[in-house]
Structure 1
Amino acid sequence: MQWGVYIHIPFCRQKCFYCDFPSYAGRENLMEAYVEALCQQIKIQGFSYRQKWGRPATVYIGGGTPTALPLENMAQILQTVENFIGAEIAEFTVECNPGTVDAQYLQMLKANGVNRLSFGVQSFDDGLLRRIGRIHNSAEALEAIRLAQEAGFANISLDLIYGLPEQTMEQLQASVGQALNLGVQHISIYGLQVEEGTVFARQQELGKLDLPAEEEAEAMYDYMTNVLPQHGYLRYEVSNFAQRGYESCHNRSYWHDVPYLGLGAAAHSYLEGKRYAAVADIQEYIAGIKAGDEIWKLEEEPTRQHAMEEFAFLALRTVEGLAARDFAQKFQVSLQEIYGETMAKLAQQGLLQVDDNGCRLTNQGFKYGNVVFAEFILD
């Protein structure tokens, strides 16, 4: 059975001003105990699901900043994962931030089975990096990726954000140019979202967040989605572009209804059609693992209607779209019967392409994906 593993590292050197992920700066004193608890969970729950489903197809270590962990702690996690998996797998990703890795750290990752890196670059403009609270500068980002390539990594992704405070089109174009010159295999693009509880949210409330106008942010989106395919980075999901054959297998599993086991504080799991969340507090997680307590809770009891909506939303994020055959196989009812009117309406608006095989977003549909997804909510 195909399934994946997500491992959460809730530590970072500094909380970025836009970040609302469950991650914490200044908790270095908890790192060693956290790693011990995490490795214990991997050994118990990981091996349990390995016995049940066989080896996972993918492993993804995210955060936070996984590489904020000292080298020896990360090596301990990787060796525990290697024992649990039992052999090399096709895709083993670790998120990295420039400024937290050097040649020795990258070589250790490579030696312990990691074969894909995802760098949170966000921009190659030093002023913008300071403005958004990143700990690295552009030179460190370039150096980190160069060192990763020298260490033998041939599957590297980087993230870029558009619509940043005071960002200009010229700055964005320069960052995209730098990314293309690096020859990485995968590029993710994200429009800035001001999330509740972040530094940016507080700045916005005080009138101190100077964001590009909506038309400027839209022009940035258009530029990126037009230029990346011209340089061999093909879109395969709303925010993701890759050279052919380098699409993220792990991320694809999220959009194609593949189960995954989340390990670590605040990690989410999707198992047997149900979604679970682990406790987010680091100390509560450590204590729970040590005591053998239940650290997961069911997010909500899924209804058939909610399952249909979620299946549709996630599939529509991909260029393949929502397959009529897959929908009918999962729910024992035709896609046309449930969503026929919705699909016809969105096709008329130029947001969906519909045929006997199902439906998929048009270029305009990708641009206004949230409009499309809202229409797939069942009354």
Structure 2
Amino acid sequence: MARGIYIHIPFCHQICNYCDFNKVFFKNQPVDEYIESLGEELRLWAAESDFQSIETVFLGGGTPTSLSPTQLKRLLTLIHMYIPMEHVTEFTSEANPDELTKEKLEVLYNGGVNRLSLGVQAFQEDLLRKLGRTHSNKHVFQTIEEAKKIGFKNISIDLMYGLPGQTMEQWKETLDIAFSLWLPHYSAYSLIVEPKTIFYNLMAKRKLRLPGEDLEAEMYDVLMQQMEQHGLHQYEISNFSKEGYSSLHNRIYWDNDEYVGLGAGAHGYSKGIRYSNHGPLKKYMEAIANGDKPIHETHTETKQERIEEELFLGLRKTEGVSKKHFFTKFNCTIESIYEKQIQELLKTELIAIEGDYIKLTRKGRFVGNEVFEEFLL
């Protein structure tokens, strides 16, 4: 049974150089029609799904805040029509700092959004330009101040390290400024150069100068140290929060639980089936107009695939994977499948067993992907 709903808004006023998500330039797009299609997709799902179990809603993109206040209000109205919000404990919207006007913040807050996730990435103008970001530090400070005045208490910002030309001094400066904002949640990701991005094309032409692996590892080390010193708990490889402010929606992914994905190019996991929607707006909206769910591909997972995902998703969490929960879910012990891998990883001190949990060690967090690969059968 699905615990969360993800809603994809594919529109952007500016395309970032590192982004590989499904997105289109806002100008001349059928934005209003798309919002109505989302409402119809919600209706199709609500007709056959028990949304009483929904705990979280997440507006992602693209950029949800690329919408006008009127468009945002219409979207939120449709969400309230089909999702029983009395059971939703976390309602998140991603946002660009330079697009969140006071009016939009009020629309979001009055529409039930209780968590903001701001794409900040860096606090140096030259790095922001390289990333294709259009906001300034002033936008960040003003937006956060205004959001707090309106009533938002749960505010998170995304940061990035391992950026082209980024130095350790710049990374430390970014962290210092981030901490000065006194926020309850921070996410920090190393840059991954994905295919079909501007950065990927630059890298292919050898025009992208990235920090080496050693410097990137040092940046991650500094990140973990600084977060701990500022009283922020690392509850997942890239996420840090004060008590009570961890992301409930993202937790659904790491717990390998089910969620409904809505919108063009969205992915979902329902009734043991992983699916993806049509990405092109035209195909997505045509399917909806025909009264069909806009699903492009589906994959029914095997038990082996679900077991693998339970490990490589669950190990992202600092607490790790519960052996009891694993046995309840799959009717077998982790050791009966992965005894050799576990012993080897214990020997190299990349994982540890603490009580009921198998978890990454601090050393293991630096090479998380290598550890996860060990659990692919």
- TM-score of the aligned structures, taking structure 2 as reference length: 0.96
Q: Separation in 2 of the partners of 1:299 and 1:164?
A: 35
Kindly indicate whether the alpha-carbon contact (under 8 Å) linking 1:37 and 1:286 is maintained by their aligned counterparts in 2: yes
Kindly indicate whether the alpha-carbon contact (under 8 Å) linking 2:26 and 2:66 is maintained by their aligned counterparts in 1: no
Q: How much has 1:144 moved relative to structure 2?
A: 1.4
Q: Separation in 2 of the partners of 1:203 and 1:134?
A: 17
Q: How much has 1:304 moved relative to structure 2?
A: 1.8
> Secondary structure of 1:300's partner?
strand
Q: How much has 1:30 moved relative to structure 2?
A: 1.5
> Secondary structure of 1:229's partner?
helix
**Equivalent residue for 2:99?**
100
1:65 to 60, 63, 66: 63
1:28–1:236 distance in 2 versus 1, CA, 3 Å: farther
Q: How much has 1:210 moved relative to structure 2?
A: 1.1
Matched, 1:315 2:314: yes
Q: Report 1:83-122 matches (<5 A).
A: 83-88=81-86, 89-122=88-121
> Secondary structure of 1:276's partner?
strand
**Equivalent residue for 1:141?**
140
1:212–1:243 distance in 2 versus 1, CA, 3 Å: same
- TM-score of the aligned structures, taking structure 1 as reference length: 0.96
> Secondary structure of 1:117's partner?
strand
Q: Report 1:23-34 matches (<5 A).
A: 23-34=23-34
**Equivalent residue for 1:364?**
363
Listed one character per residue, the Cα deviations across residues 118-142 of structure 1 (whole Å, up to 9, x for unaligned) are 0000011111101110121121122
> Secondary structure of 2:59's partner?
strand
Q: Which runs of 5+ in 1 are unaligned?
A: none
Listed one character per residue, the Cα deviations across residues 47-70 of structure 1 (whole Å, up to 9, x for unaligned) are 532xx3524111001001010011
Listed one character per residue, the Cα deviations across residues 155-193 of structure 1 (whole Å, up to 9, x for unaligned) are 001000001001111111111111111111110000001
1:353–1:28 distance in 2 versus 1, CA, 3 Å: farther
1:265–1:106 distance in 2 versus 1, CA, 3 Å: same
Kindly indicate whether the alpha-carbon contact (under 8 Å) linking 1:261 and 1:271 is maintained by their aligned counterparts in 2: yes
Q: Separation in 1 of the partners of 2:252 and 2:209?
A: 37
> Secondary structure of 1:177's partner?
helix
| Segment of structure 1 superposing worse, 146-155 or 293-302 | 293-302
> Secondary structure of 1:265's partner?
coil
Listed one character per residue, the Cα deviations across residues 76-106 of structure 1 (whole Å, up to 9, x for unaligned) are 1111112223334210000001111111110
Kindly indicate whether the alpha-carbon contact (under 8 Å) linking 1:343 and 1:354 is maintained by their aligned counterparts in 2: no
**Equivalent residue for 1:4?**
4
> Secondary structure of 2:112's partner?
coil
Amino acid corresponding to residue 346 of structure 2 in structure 1: A
**Equivalent residue for 2:221?**
222
Q: Separation in 1 of the partners of 2:28 and 2:358?
A: 48
1:345–1:44 distance in 2 versus 1, CA, 3 Å: same
**Equivalent residue for 2:36?**
36
1:284–1:297 distance in 2 versus 1, CA, 3 Å: closer
Aligned length: 376
Kindly indicate whether the alpha-carbon contact (under 8 Å) linking 1:11 and 1:64 is maintained by their aligned counterparts in 2: yes
